[in-house]
């Protein structure tokens, strides 16, 4: 259990810390915030029984250790006041200023909102917090300090709640701390989460590490002694520190690589702090001369820093008795940034090295706002952010030599979107290290990537199955949603025009006032939204048409002639409408086939052949059927499926393929039945222009002597 707090002692320690870097007038402002918060929370206790004010004080003390400014400290002391008391944001702004009030509001949870589930409420709270953080990074620093203290005092919670909070911390808060370069906080949150999420595993591993510490003390002291002597001999003044790997790091390595504890040899590491950047590389050379380096285990994060600004040289050496030893080499400035990350901005304001870190942090924070604008809802936004909080990175180069850091496992599509949204939307191929490769090719460190674009290219929904970066995933989804909305609106307009025509009304004659009345009654945002809903099957065109027609002054019986003088009783299908009109994969209709259309909710208009087996299952949805016809003069390819029973002779497949090619068609897919005897069944999916073209292909295939039977087939499983 967490020991009871000594409030007077904590307050004295907090004031002593403030005195090290704040002016007396600023300390007075922070003191006033403490008094205000104490009065507001008076009588409230934490679950542990401690006075509630002990929690805001602990949060503020954590921020003071990073030397944050008075506004942040005031906000930390008041961060729960809007949730737990009757005090409003306006009252905080009046007393302590707008900046402090905005910070408190950014940290406060959303309330009085109706959500379908706890998960949705959590996602919406995270979205609010992260967007507030994008405007002011102090919001997340307050929230991280808040989460740290909650994790430190989590023992009083029920076991299931402890596990849920620990999992949430591992999934969201620890990765954010890592992304902002707050390494010490990141490690502590991981350790505390591990202890509460898996208490038994934590205790067993803790005991094992204590045992190993005694067994390996001799080896560690021998390495420490050898390194401490080797560096001065090479003329290098350095501080050498031994460090033990954290329990969660050991646990994750055991879990991910399926190792036993005895197989995790490198539980000890060394950190070497030198005076400047060139000395880092001199120290590396001296160590490689002392012990044999492990091939492939050297990483230069100084030349190419991590996305969170972290810089160090990492190398693994084979020490005495064959023990692998991990060594990090960095300067004192790099060490400050490695431990405090973005908080170094307040701790070490005069350091030039922080410029690059601030730029990277700002770029990431801006990307959150961009993700928000392209994400559909809170859950999708949170999913994108989680993807972006990646633990590992791969570094690749553009043709001009610019370095891009991407999530491990990223593809050429991720790179294209990292360069620019337009490049991603228009990419068709790539060259990796001067070799033309598929867009789904996984990138490796050091790859030179060149993207090939085409003016009329567009994102493919299949890209979502292999892109890794949040930016790429968000941009692809946004494009597809926009495209679907445009296509659905165009289809909806055609469906509505058709339905109105049956009522003797032309769509162009529907007055703006009639539309306005309909939008008001139906709760639609706009006319375009109504048309998109019709195209997606969310509204029935006949019902919308009837409502609109009722608002017209005059309706003539019969149909309204179209501009070309013909009465279009059916919707004309081009086959190139995109996602709004879908050709059934069960029957694969092609021009010349008699067709029927059906509006399916969320899918748009589905087109089937009139004898498709799937239609029999949809009798209950007869009200959604619409009349459709092929538009004359269509010039594009369609897919058709055929089944061929042929003699199982050598070379028969080649003859069939040759016959298809001679008939000016292309094979999209081919499969065969597993059971083969005297005959075998082959299934082809072909590209054809229309029914006449398909008939020509079938005639060509019937001329192959081995063909026993040939038919076009529908697949009801689709």
**What digits encode the pLDDT tens for the residues 618-636?**
655 555 677 788 888 888 8
Where does the pLDDT of residue 343 fall: very low under 50, low under 70, confident under 90, or very high at 90 and above?
Answer: low
> Hey, which of 19-28, 104-113, 241-250, 330-339 has the most confident mean pLDDT?
19-28
**DSSP assignment letter at 563:** T
> Alpha-carbon distance 167 to 189, whole Å?
11
Cα distances from 512 to residues 120, 191, 383, 519, 523, in angstroms, run 38, 63, 41, 10, 16
User: How do residues 385-437 score in pLDDT, each as one tens digit?
Assistant: 555 554 467 778 888 878 787 888 899 999 999 999 999 999 999 999 889 98
- Three-class SS state of 300: strand
Cα distances from 438 to residues 46, 353, 428, 441, 670, in angstroms, run 57, 39, 9, 6, 22
Model confidence at 579: pLDDT above 70: no
| Number of Cβ atoms within 10 Å of the Cβ of 511 | 12
pLDDT at residue number 279:
94
> Alpha-carbon distance 471 to 417, whole Å?
7
pLDDT at residue number 456:
82
Q: Which fold has domain 7-197?
A: Hypothetical protein af1432 (1.10.3210)
> Alpha-carbon distance 220 to 190, whole Å?
25
Rounded mean pLDDT of the chain? 80
> Alpha-carbon distance 129 to 172, whole Å?
12
In the numeric block, which tokens belong to residue 428? 């068709």
Backbone torsions φ then ψ of 432, nearest 5 degrees? -110, 120
The answer to whether the pTM exceeds 0.85 is no
Question: Can you spell out the DSSP letters for 566-622?
Answer: ----SEEE-S-SGGGEEE-TTT---TTS-EEEEEETTTEEEEEETT-GGGGGGGGGG
List, as own/partner pairs, every contact residues 217-225 make where C-beta atoms lie below 8 angstroms and the sequence separation is at least 24, other chains included. Answer: 219/319, 219/320, 219/321, 219/323, 220/268, 222/319, 222/320, 223/270, 223/319, 223/320, 223/323, 223/325, 224/270
> Alpha-carbon distance 55 to 149, whole Å?
7
638-712 classified as CATH 3.30.70.260? yes
- Three-class SS state of 236: coil
pLDDT at residue number 287:
92
In the numeric block, which tokens belong to residue 267? 């539980």
User: How do residues 549-559 score in pLDDT, each as one tens digit?
Assistant: 776 644 444 43
Model confidence at 562: pLDDT above 50: no
Q: Which CATH superfamily is domain 201-351 in?
A: Beta Polymerase, domain 2 (3.30.460.10)
Does this chain's domain 7-197 share its CATH topology with 201-351? no
Cβ(312)–Cβ(328) under 8 Å? yes
Query: Which of the residues are catalytic?
Result: 83-84
Model confidence at 163: pLDDT above 80: yes
> Alpha-carbon distance 89 to 343, whole Å?
26
> Hey, which of 353-357, 358-362, 388-392, 641-645 has the most confident mean pLDDT?
641-645
Enumerate the domain spans of the chain: 7-197, 201-351, 478-630, 638-712
> Hey, which of 83-92, 106-115, 428-437 has the most confident mean pLDDT?
428-437
Model confidence at 525: pLDDT above 90: no
Cβ(608)–Cβ(632) under 8 Å? no
Segment 59-84 mean pLDDT: 88
Percent of the chain with pLDDT over 70: 80
């Amino acid at each position: 259990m967490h020991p009871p707090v000594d409030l007077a002692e904590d307050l004295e320690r907090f004031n002593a810390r403030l005195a090290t870097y704040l002016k007396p007038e600023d300390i007075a402002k922070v003191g006033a915030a403490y008094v205000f918060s104490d009065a507001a929370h008076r009588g409230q206790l934490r679950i542990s029984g401690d006075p509630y004010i002990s929690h805001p004080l602990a949060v503020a003390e954590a921020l003071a250790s990073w030397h944050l400014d008075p506004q942040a400290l005031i906000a930390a002391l008041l961060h729960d006041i809007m949730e737990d008391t009757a005090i409003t944001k306006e009252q905080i702004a009046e007393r302590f200023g707008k900046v402090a009030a905005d910070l408190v509001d950014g940290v406060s949870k959303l309330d009085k909102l109706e959500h379908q589930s706890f998960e949705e409420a959590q996602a919406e709270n995270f979205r609010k917090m992260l967007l507030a953080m994008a405007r002011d990074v102090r919001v997340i620093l307050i929230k991280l300090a808040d989460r740290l203290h909650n994790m430190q005092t989590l023992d009083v919670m029920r076991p299931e709640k402890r596990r849920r909070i620990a999992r949430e911390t591992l999934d969201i808060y620890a990765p954010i701390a890592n992304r902002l370069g707050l390494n010490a906080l990141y490690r502590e949150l991981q350790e505390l989460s591990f202890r509460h999420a898996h208490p038994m595993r934590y205790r067993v591993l803790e005991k094992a590490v204590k045992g190993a510490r005694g067994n390996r003390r001799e080896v560690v002291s021998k390495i420490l002694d050898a390194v401490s002597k080797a560096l001065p001999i090479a003329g290098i003044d350095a501080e050498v520190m031994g460090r033990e790997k954290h329990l969660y790091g050991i646990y994750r390595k055991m879990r991910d690589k399926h190792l036993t504890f005895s197989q995790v040899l490198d539980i000890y590491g060394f950190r070497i702090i030198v005076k400047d950047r060139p000395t880092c590389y001199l120290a590396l050379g001296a160590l490689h001369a002392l012990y044999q380096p492990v091939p492939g285990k050297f990483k230069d994060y100084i030349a190419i820093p991590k996305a969170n600004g972290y810089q160090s040289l990492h190398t693994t050496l084979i020490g005495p008795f064959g023990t692998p030893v991990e060594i990090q080499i960095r300067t004192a400035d790099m060490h400050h940034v490695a431990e405090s990350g973005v908080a170094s901005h307040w701790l070490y304001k005069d350091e030039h090295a922080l410029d690059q870190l601030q730029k990277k942090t700002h770029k990431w924070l801006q990307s959150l706002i961009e993700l928000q604008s392209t994400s559909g809802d809170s859950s999708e936004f949170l999913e994108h952010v989680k993807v972006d909080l990646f633990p590992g990175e791969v570094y690749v180069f553009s043709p001009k030599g610019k370095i891009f850091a991407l999530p491990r496992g990223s593809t050429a599509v991720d790179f294209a979107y990292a360069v620019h949204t337009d490049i991603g939307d228009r990419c068709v191929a790539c060259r990796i290290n001067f070799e033309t490769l598929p867009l789904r090719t996984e990138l490796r460190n050091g790859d030179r990537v060149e993207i090939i674009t085409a003016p009329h290219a567009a994102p493919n929904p299949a890209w979502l199955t292999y892109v890794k970066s949040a930016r790429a995933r968000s941009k692809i989804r946004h494009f597809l949603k926009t495209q679907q909305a445009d296509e659905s609106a165009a289809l909806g307009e055609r469906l509505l025009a058709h339905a109105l025509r049956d009522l003797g009304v032309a769509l162009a004659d529907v007055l703006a006032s009639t539309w306005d009345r309909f939008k008001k009654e139906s709760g639609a945002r706009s006319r375009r939204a109504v048309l998109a809903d019709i195209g997606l099957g969310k509204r029935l065109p006949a019902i919308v048409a009837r409502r609109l027609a009722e608002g017209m002054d005059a309706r003539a019986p019969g149909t309204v002639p179209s501009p070309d003088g013909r009465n279009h009783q059916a919707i004309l299908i081009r086959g190139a409408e995109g996602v709004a009109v879908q050709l059934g994969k069960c029957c694969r209709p092609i021009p010349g086939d008699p067709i029927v259309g059906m509006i399916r909710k969320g899918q748009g208009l589905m087109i089937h052949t009139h004898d498709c087996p799937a239609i029999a299952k949809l009798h209950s949805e007869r009200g959604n059927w619409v009349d459709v016809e092929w538009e004359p003069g269509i010039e594009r390819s369609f897919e058709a499926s055929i089944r061929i029973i042929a003699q199982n002779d050598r070379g028969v497949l080649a003859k069939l393929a040759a016959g298809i090619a001679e008939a000016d068609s292309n094979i999209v897919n081919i499969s065969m039945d597993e059971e083969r005897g005297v005959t075998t069944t082959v299934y082809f999916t072909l590209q054809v222009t229309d029914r006449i073209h398909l008939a020509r292909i079938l005639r060509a295939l019937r001329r192959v002597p081995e063909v026993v039977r040939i038919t076009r087939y529908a697949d009801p499983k689709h």
